[in-house]
Amino acid sequence: MKQPVRYILFTLLACSLSVAAGAADPATGTQPQKPSLLSPAQQILPTETPKKPEDTSAQQTLRLGHVDLIRISNESETGKAGKLQLAELQKKLQGQIETKRKQLDKQKSAIEAKLSTLTAQQREAKGKDFQKKVEEFQKFGQKAEKELQERQEEFSNSLFKAIEQASSEYGKANGLALVVVKRELLYLGSGVDAQDVTDGVIKLIDKK
């Protein structure tokens, strides 16, 4: 606000001076020349219209890469090895569950075959014993399911960490602003140069 105020004051002062100077010289009767409001430098140098800054937004392009997580899981050596280990663990646990199930079926059949020869107390005792084994079987199944789920989470976290590291390395080496997951790309503007870098990331993961 200081600069405009000073400018106004300067203008008023200049106008008052020009009016006072506009009177005729009583000694000579001649009209003196009105002083110019421009500074000496402004009187000599031509005024120039300030140039507008060039709009460089259209020239700037955001370069980003995107990766396909499913392809990395299916095609990378790390992904294939991890999925193979999970499949083997699942097969092993399913085999153990199936073995225990068959044992329970045999025990149930044996108890049912002897029910007619058992007393009420014996039937009650056999029933409690069989129920206990059924509960143990259920707990084993829950434990097996939990073990498989934990291994799957460990594998997913490990693979995603490898993907993050490889994506960071690839992005820095190739001058990318960012690398994102492909499924998150819903819209790309005209100023964005997006490229699929899945192959490059897979190579870096397998290299390590």
- List the chain domain ranges: 63-207
* Strand intervals (E) in 154-199: 178-181, 192-196
**pLDDT beyond 90 at 158:** yes
**pLDDT beyond 90 at 153:** yes
CA atoms within 13 A on the CB side of 149: 6
Name the class of domain 63-207: alpha beta
**pLDDT beyond 50 at 9:** no
> Can you tell me the mean pLDDT for 51-67?
70
**pLDDT beyond 70 at 141:** yes
What pLDDT, on the 0 to 100 scale, is given for residue 29?
52
**pLDDT beyond 50 at 59:** yes
Distance CA 152, CA 36 (A): 87
Distance CA 92, CA 148 (A): 10
How does residue 84 score in pLDDT terms, banded at 50, 70 and 90?
A: very high
**pLDDT beyond 60 at 146:** yes
What pLDDT, on the 0 to 100 scale, is given for residue 138?
96
Q: Which residues of 75-103 are buried (b: 16+ CB within 10 A; e: fewer)?
A: ebebbeebeeebeeebeebeeeeeebeee
**pLDDT beyond 80 at 191:** yes
Location of structure tokens 């029933």: 127
> Can you tell me the mean pLDDT for 126-154?
96
More confident residue, 200 or 51: 200
More confident residue, 109 or 8: 109
- Asked whether the whole model's pTM tops 0.75, one would answer no
**pLDDT beyond 90 at 42:** no
